[in-house]
Amino acid sequence: MPVKTGLVGCGAMGAFLAFALRREFRNEAVLTGICDHHEENRKRLLSRLKSRCPALSLEAVLRSSDLILEAASQDAACELLTHPLAKRKVFLIMSVGGILKALKKQPRLLEDFQGRILVPSGALAGVDGLLAAREAGLVSVILKTRKPPAALKSAPYFAKRKFPALKDTGEVCLFRGPAAEAVSAFPQNINVAAVLSLSGLGAKKTFVEIWTSKAFKGNQHEVLIQHKSGKIRIVADNEPSRDNPKTSALAIYAALACLRKWFGSLKMGT
């Protein structure tokens, strides 16, 4: 019997996931409800799907679904995971920073959780290596992210700070600090820092640098891992998403791969 599936967030990523369910997993899952604070997003998606799937509240989605796909915001992810109805559900979380928020709100969340939380690797490569390095004994994890100015200017970090003047080709470091601060300051740009935090040393010990330049056209994530048995360096260069330039196009395909792994019999990777 297909898994009853709810969708929270009907923007570009949510729409991609909804169509992926219909195209790739029609025998494994059925969309039973959608939720989005923006009515126009809900109507647009239902029109494109040619579906009568009901628009529900967040709580109603939790009640009517066994698998919940989150593609909305960190706040929505946090609200979902800390809801009393969440403990036996399966979640695919795109706004991974929301997991950090939920853990801050409920420190024993993961210990008490009886369902599953699926976390795609997003625009990163090398999460498997990081997980293995954690078993070997991690020493340090550093993320250096490079993105175009337009993707970063509207971040909350600049609500009380002036965005720096940029020269023609020079790189400027906008942020240096722990992932816990980076995820809050750049919630739509740096979910990869939350992925690294949950896979490695945690949000306070994972170090993040965010760089920009007029010359940057794509998004780059460079990860430097030191562990007791060696070192790992990974660089992922990605094109921005056409629908949301604040994130990388690869991030949505990572979600598709995550669903395929969960539904499939063969589980590749660590």
Positions marked active-site: 221
Q: What does each C-alpha distance from 102 to 99, 110, 207 come to in angstroms?
A: 5, 10, 20
Structural tokens at position 101 = 């928020």
Candidates 139, 125, 131; CA nearest to 230 is: 139
Spatial CB neighbours of 172, under 8 Å, sequence gap ≥ 6: 164, 166, 211, 212, 213
List, as one string, the DSSP characters of 83-135: STT-TT-EEEES-THHHHHHHHH-TTHHHH--SEEE---TT-S-HHHHHHHHH
The rounded distance, in Å, linking the Cα atoms of 79 and 6 is 15
Q: In DSSP terms, which residues pair with 92 in a beta bridge?
A: 69, 118
